[in-house]
Structure 1
Amino acid sequence: MTPLLFSLYTSTSSADILLNFRTTFVSTSGQVVYDARSICVHYVTTWLFVDLIAALPFDLLYAFNVSVYFGVHLLKTVRLLRLLRLLQKLERYSQYSAVVLTLLMSMFALLAHWMACVWYFIGRKEIESPGSWDIGWLHELAKRLGSPYVLSTLVPASDSSVPANSSQWNLSEVGGQGSWNSSQYNGNTSGGGAVAETTPGGGSFGVLGGGPSMRSSYVTSLYFALSSLTSVGFGNVSANTDSEKIFSICTMLIGALMHAVVFGNVTAIIQRMYSRRSLYHTRTKDLKDFIRVHRLPKALEQRMLEYFCYNANTVKLLKDFPDELRADIAMHLNKELLQLPLFESASRGCLRSLSLIIRTSFCAPGEFLIRQGDALQAIYFVCSGSME
């Protein structure tokens, strides 16, 4: 994490903790709680501990060269628990297909990123292993890119042939130079390579350097993870050691599950996104088939199609709402009409009742709204356009 991103994350996490002490919540009875003390107690007993661990400045330990154990790194995974809270908040948008689709693809990308990190971790451990360093996928990638791993041998300053205030480094390419045993070295190493103790010349230490860049290694790891999860598996990045093969098997099993869960839902969501459009085209086709079978005149056909395309069926859309809500919506839709001088003396209850029985009609050019001698069954108001 760059210093800028680290500072941004730390500041936003700290601000989020402070804001959560002043953020209302919904109780089990479904009521919004505004009491400050209840909010504090609720936050302390739920998410405060997780947020505090997630906001710990782990990167400062590296900035000051503080040695940390492997278990400390696992505390970073607590930050992933905050995703659960995000998912709970996004649940209210689950009726929007685009939101669910974006969420599913984001989860798939996150899983691929985790798989890529584990794949690189396994490859790095195989490089540091004396029995499988020359067959791991990272070794194969280094050979193809022309950047082999290099074992830098450090002769301690206590050696009689080296001055007390200096260290001597001997570089040798990893490959064909006997065996070496992996061990930890307490000294600081430049470049962050793995440290190994060489068997020949006892007392010397080696730092594993060189190899492909971190960017190239991550891109290759992500490529392998995605190709395995999607059941493509081109084979140009393959598992060679037992550890890599076991991880590949697990990745394939997870990929099969992801196909059933993620991609199955993606297919259903895409179909749902286009269901209304498909229904519209189906109804249009049925109308055209009706016109063709009954051989309706061209002018009548044009009027029917224009009415179907431009008429908004408000009654059908609002029929599932309660009467109180339908009345408010209808008053808003017909507010210009209800502001006419004809309705100035009408009460609000009368206007609400009238708004529920108002129907919007679209008349194509040349169409007769009412003919002479017809019984008048409604009052017509011209909202737009003109008539003779």
Structure 2
Amino acid sequence: MSMRGSMTLPVPPRKPSDVLTNSVDMTYRQHFFAMFQPSADNKLAIKLFGSVAAVTKERERIASSKHWIIHPASNFRFYFDLFMLIVLLANLMILPVSISFFNDDFSIPWIVFNCFSDTIFFIDLVCNFRTGIINPENSADVVLDPREIARRYVRTWFFVDLISSIPFDYFVLVISIWDDDFAKSQIVHAGRALRILRMAKLLSLIKLLRLSRLVRYVSQFQEIYFLNIAGVFMRIFNFMCLMMLMAHWSGCIQFLVPMLQGFPRDSWVVINELEHAAWFEQYTWSFFKAISHQLSIGYGRYPPQSISDSWLTVLSMLTGAFTYALFIGHASNLIHSLDASRRQYREKWKQVEEYMAYRKLPRPLRVKIGDFYEHRFQGKIFDEEAILGELNDPIRELIINYNCRDLVSSVPFFSHADPNFVTAIITKLKYEFFLPDDIIVREGTLGNKMYFIQEGLVEIYMEAKEPGGQSKIITCLSDGSYFGEICLLTRTKRVASVRAQSCCSLFSLQSDHFNSVLNEYPLMRQALESVAAERLNKIGKDSTIIQRTSSSSQLQTVADLTNTDYMIRPATPFIVDSEEPFGYLRSTSGSPTLIIPSNHWRRSSVVPPTPTIPDAPHVAQAKTNATPTFGLGPSNSQNGEPHETQALLRDGRSADLSSSLDTSRLHSSRPHTTLNAKPLSTNNNSTNDNFEDVIITLSDNRNTAQQVLLPKRR
């Protein structure tokens, strides 16, 4: 039986060194080809495509094209264009000098420079056929098809680049080596003609073209790498460099024309005895003559004597005057735009002056207004709110945190607070400035903001009770203090006045922002309430209003969250912790323990004693209905006696609460009394402005319990 069909040749095992070599080769190959593809660390690629994922997708598109293409956003193209910029600038500076002052010089350095430059330009010509083209209509669309790239390049700048890349100097050098006699007799004139042709070629064609392309790339480079931060100075510097380059070319032409004429006796070169001088001396006087023409300050050392010098002078002056006018206009425009905020301040102040003159304001008031603008804006005006509004939240928070760093570090209330609370507060602060003797807060007015002092000194005082009396100074506050929180916590009028003693930089916080933040951080509310209560006690005011207003605000918040129709509370309650989601209340002045009602029966987990009214009822149950119902239980083991109750409705109507004994022992081992509020009569003289809804008074035959509020949510 033949085994020929199933026989296989043994495969020799691969050596570990071969595997390692292949792996290293593959790594180098990947890194090499990655240079020609867009990279995530290339800012041009990020700008074109927007994200790292989009750059990765573009790399996949290049890999699927199956063509070797240099991407315009690759690192190779970036460094190559930067290198081309340096070579181009060297050619623009060296070639005119060489052609004008070294026309017969075939030295080794000059030959090396020419060969190197022409080789680089030829490599650039080849690379342009393999470099993707960015679509001007859609920057994210890069042409990668080699045929389309070649078609677009041939239709634009290919022939200009081709002519500029032909090595004329190589031909002259080969001819000079091949025929020494011919070189000695003819090479000088041929070389000079070719050099003139090369200069015209470089200056009129490729150099101008490549200069514009590379200038655009430099502008893009500045924008991508954030050099546009100093863009005004960079543009002025670029324009000055362009003026110097124009003067450089003009100076070379000023010497080249007399040289081509064989230095006539009436030429400026012969008059200045420069035909046999050193090249640097010749260039110096040529450059001086060109600068004098461009700035229109003279003709150099001597005025022109020949026709050719006169025409050169006219041409140089016209070019210089045009360039100088462009420079002055461009520079003035840039300087004008550089100081936009100060210019806007001057325009605003001019309007203020015209307004004060129109309204015929008195001189002291005008001085005060001027002081305000001077100290508040310090000579510059900009729309900070609009600037911050254009930024995203993280950057905006960083800026605000930095601007308020002194405030945060100086206010103890902030330095010991939760960082999230501090951030939530300072992002809602508004900067305000006050001059000495400005009344920041006036006693008896409704307040809608509180203030934090960043810099300055304020005086808190109470107005005199009688006309002609002395105001009472309570205290003075300085950097790091705050005031105005009492009216926001109590929702009442200002209890004292505040006057600036010096120039004050304050940050204000609106009441709606104040309440929204404190609702998220109840511990910080308690800290503010504690300070506010101390300040009220200091000026002889009732501090219990802080607790009443606080519980009212939090009860309404809980009612909104639990979607209840009714809730009850004592007149002066405060909130204590509870495991129940709806919480429960207890009064410090002996009022009943209350529970927030919901859409089903609830029972408070704690029924504390009432020290001031021993037999007062405790509200242990609550239920929402069209008619509010409360379950009441006595504080002792005995059955509760009938309670005389009366309700005062929001519209002024009074109502009686009927009582009856209920022994069903709902949720408790104690009997309950159910009271129903029913409107019976109208009493227009009985109103309550402090609350919007129903006030109920519970009492028995011996004592009257605290008032409880029954607000009905609309």
Q: TM-score range by the shorter chain?
A: 0.5 to 0.7
Aligned partners of 2:359 and 2:86: how far apart in 1?
70
Residue matched to 2:355 = 290
Task: Indicate conservation of the 8 Å contact 1:136/1:240, yes or no.
Answer: yes
Q: Could you tell me how far 1:139 is from its partner in structure 2?
A: 0.5
Counterpart mapping for 1:7-156 below 5 A:
24=42, 26-27=44-45, 28-30=48-50, 41-42=76-77, 46=81, 66=108, 72=114, 75=117, 84=215, 86-91=218-223, 92-93=227-228, 96-126=231-261, 129=262, 132-142=263-273
Q: Could you list the per-position Cα deviations for residues 86-108 of structure 1 after superposition, in whole angstroms to 9, with x for gaps in the alignment? A: 45434542774333223212221
Aligned partners of 1:249 and 1:43: how far apart in 2?
42
Q: Could you tell me how far 1:359 is from its partner in structure 2?
A: 1.6
Aligned partners of 2:79 and 2:454: how far apart in 1?
59
Distance change (3 Å), C-alpha of 1:235 and 1:50: closer
Q: Could you tell me how far 1:71 is from its partner in structure 2?
A: 9.1
Task: Indicate conservation of the 8 Å contact 2:293/2:313, yes or no.
Answer: yes
Q: Could you tell me how far 1:116 is from its partner in structure 2?
A: 1.1
Residue matched to 2:385 = 318
Percent identical among aligned pairs is: 17
2:384 aligned partner, one-letter code: L
Aligned partners of 1:261 and 1:232: how far apart in 2?
17
Over the aligned positions, Cα root-mean-square deviation in angstroms equals 4.6
Q: Could you tell me how far 1:380 is from its partner in structure 2?
A: 1.3
**Structure 2 alignment gaps of length 5 or more:** 1-34, 60-69, 95-101, 119-201, 460-714
Q: State TM-score, norm by structure 1.
A: 0.58
Aligned partners of 1:252 and 1:70: how far apart in 2?
36
Task: Indicate conservation of the 8 Å contact 1:112/1:226, yes or no.
Answer: yes
Residue matched to 2:189 = none
Pick from 359, 363, 378 the counterpart of residue 430 of structure 2: 359
Aligned partners of 1:370 and 1:73: how far apart in 2?
82
Counterpart mapping for 1:258-277 below 5 A:
258-259=323-324, 261-277=326-342
Task: Indicate conservation of the 8 Å contact 2:292/2:300, yes or no.
Answer: no
Q: Could you tell me how far 1:123 is from its partner in structure 2?
A: 3.3
> Greater Rg, structure 1 or structure 2?
2
2:376 aligned partner, one-letter code: N
Distance change (3 Å), C-alpha of 1:387 and 1:232: same
Tell which has more relative contact order, 1 or 2 (C-alpha 8 A, sep 6+).
1
1:105 aligned partner, one-letter code: M
Counterpart mapping for 1:193-208 below 5 A:
none
Counterpart mapping for 1:245-256 below 5 A:
247-248=312-313, 250-255=315-320
Aligned partners of 2:401 and 2:381: how far apart in 1?
13
Distance change (3 Å), C-alpha of 1:29 and 1:285: closer
Pick from 362, 372, 379 the counterpart of residue 307 of structure 1: 372
Instruction: Tell me the SS of whatever aligns to 1:373.
Output: coil
Residue matched to 2:294 = 229
User: Number of matched residues?
Assistant: 293
Q: Could you list the per-position Cα deviations for residues 97-137 of structure 1 after superposition, in whole angstroms to 9, with x for gaps in the alignment? A: 333223212221222122112222333444xx2xx531211
Residue matched to 2:456 = 385
Aligned partners of 2:207 and 2:452: how far apart in 1?
62
Aligned partners of 1:52 and 1:315: how far apart in 2?
44
Distance change (3 Å), C-alpha of 1:352 and 1:40: closer
Q: Could you tell me how far 1:372 is from its partner in structure 2?
A: 1.8
Q: Could you tell me how far 1:283 is from its partner in structure 2?
A: 2.5
Task: Indicate conservation of the 8 Å contact 2:267/2:306, yes or no.
Answer: yes
**Structure 1 alignment gaps of length 5 or more:** 1-19, 143-147, 150-208
Residue matched to 1:331 = 401
Aligned partners of 2:454 and 2:323: how far apart in 1?
54
1:139 aligned partner, one-letter code: V
Q: Could you tell me how far 1:275 is from its partner in structure 2?
A: 4.7
Task: Indicate conservation of the 8 Å contact 1:97/1:269, yes or no.
Answer: yes
